[in-house]
Chain A
Amino acid sequence: MFKLVFLIFEILPVVFYVSFLRRNKHEGLQVVFIYSLISVAVEFVAPVLRREFDISSFYFYACFTIIEYLLLTIFLYFSIKDARLRYIPIIGTVAFFATVVANFLHKREGNFDSLPASVENVLIIIYSIIFLYGQIKDPSILFVYYTKKFWVVIACFIYFSATLFLFLYASNFSPQDHNKYWYINNIFDIIKNIFFCIAFSMKKNKAPNPIENYYADI
């Protein structure tokens, strides 16, 4: 039952993006849509591939981690307005790929690529904080929560914060432990998808500008 709910919520952002396509045009959310699409594909195709071709979960998760990191970093890189802070995702990406290569060379057993996934979590959290810092500093943005990007970043921020410890321990999990604890990931994945749906369904330029309204009243 929970698995079914999880799968439904996995599909919902894609449905919302397509349904509100006009609202999401020129909003820089295409990357997030591709990410949602790949997430859905992974949930449905992964079990089949694993069963049919006997591919190890490790490679599977490793590939998904890289794609997920790249897509979200591209989104956050273009969302960060301050040019001086944009070098952080570039440095972070170098560090991330160094970790991926090191992890691939030294440790290929286990079910989960714990180290790259944890590094990814930490880096995405850092980028999210940088993005939010930029939003606070930007005087043209009056209510952050009226922007689509804010909800996407919040979704990532909460998801990656909540799953950091889970991913840190995940490589040491037995299949029983995996089943026991993996619901944490699923719950926060559902929350993330709800936030994505909110972002995709929001109207463009919905933000009421109290200062503009104030002048309009004069």
Chain B
Amino acid sequence: MILLEATNPGSNVSLVLYFGTIGMLALTIGLIVFIIFHQRKVIRYQLRLQRMEQDQQKLLLNASIRLQEEERQRIAADLHDDAGPLLATARLYLNENLVNLDKTTQLQSIYNAKQIIDDTIQLIRNISHSLMPPTLKNFGLESAVNDLFQKISGSGSMNASSRFHDYRERLQAENELIIFRVIQELVNNILKHSNASFIHLTQNTSGEKFFIRLHHDGRGITQNDFNKLNKSNVGLGLKNIQSRLKVLHGKIFFEKDMSQTYYKVTIELIKEEEDKLREQE
């Protein structure tokens, strides 16, 4: 019928009317179909993103489990290989006292046993300190970091310094521990891989943001390297850093200094998040 109308030379109105209507209808349907397909595409994209995020989470979780296991193995090895033999030796000396009745020999063996027990106490203290540094617990992040950097500097292998510009109010103890572990991990990486001659740490705040920056003059990594390592199966320490910072809703940036001479690592935390966590507690 439309074609018949259209082929009639005297009916311009009907021609425009029909073609106009069909054109508008085609445009409308086209637009609706486009919207539906576009939305499906967006959903597929979102799902893909979420899968990737989930894979990333799995990687982080695996990394933290592996690290936890490694830590346990290390403590077990320390106790088994060091504390165990020491205590066994002390027992031998004390056993000797039961057999040997000579006073001088008894005194000597008691003295030896005491020395060994002192060593064991020191060893256990070291293990305990590596689990939770007492300076951190008692005096806070600033003192613990200063302590750590003094020890590094004291070893003579590297010049290490730290400066806290605005740390009047301590963060929550758990959060301080997380930040301290991240700093430890970063410093460990710098010591192991960078071949740097100095490390300098600064802390400051800007509005609601809390920053910790590490500078060093060795070989470092950039944000791209960090992202790549995070997605791969290697870089366990970096994944550990990432998963720890995730707890604090913090961010970490790896970059080269403006002068292209130093590498810079910036840890960024939001103080509000800290307050929220405190309120939740």
Contacts and interface: CB of A to CB of B under 8 A. Distances in A.
Interface of A: 125, 129, 132, 135-136, 139, 142-145, 154, 157-158, 161-166, 168-169, 172, 177, 181, 184, 210-211, 214-215, 218
B35 A162 contact: no
Nearest to A157: B28
B17 interface: yes
Given A143-B39, A165-B24, A154 B32 contact: yes
Contact of A210 (B14, B21, B38, B47): B47
A210 B44 CA distance: 9
A170 B31 CA distance: 26
A169 B35 contact: no
A184 to B, nearest CB: 6
Contact of B21 (A139, A154, A166, A214): A166
Interface of B: 13-14, 16-17, 20-21, 24-25, 27-29, 31-32, 35-36, 38-39, 42-43, 46-47, 50, 54
Scoring A125, A161, A169 by chain B CB atoms within 10 A of each residue's CB, the highest score goes to: A161
Contacts of A214: 47, 50
A161 B50 CA distance: 39
B39 A184 contact: no
Contacts, number: 67
Contacts of A158: 25, 28-29, 32
B21 A136 contact: no
Contact of B16 (A142, A154, A165, A210): A165
B17 A161 contact: no
Contact of A165 (B21, B28, B31): B21
The B interface is mostly helix, strand or loop, or mixed, namely helix
A163 B27 CA distance: 13
Contact of B43 (A135, A169, A210): A210
Contacts of A218: 54
A164 B31 contact: no
Nearest to A121: B24
Given A132-B31, A161-B28, A145 B43 contact: no
B14 A144 contact: no
26 contacts: A125-B28, A129-B31, A132-B31, A132-B32, A132-B35, A136-B35, A139-B46, A143-B39, A144-B36, A144-B39, A157-B28, A158-B25, A158-B32, A162-B25, A162-B28, A164-B20, A164-B21, A165-B20, A166-B21, A172-B13, A177-B13, A184-B17, A210-B47, A214-B47, A215-B50, A218-B54
Nearest to A125: B28
Contacts of B25: 158, 161-162
Nearest to A142: B43
Contact of A145 (B20, B24, B27, B36): B36
Contact of A164 (B13, B24, B36, B43): B24
Most buried by A among B17, B31, B54: B17
Contacts of B14: 181
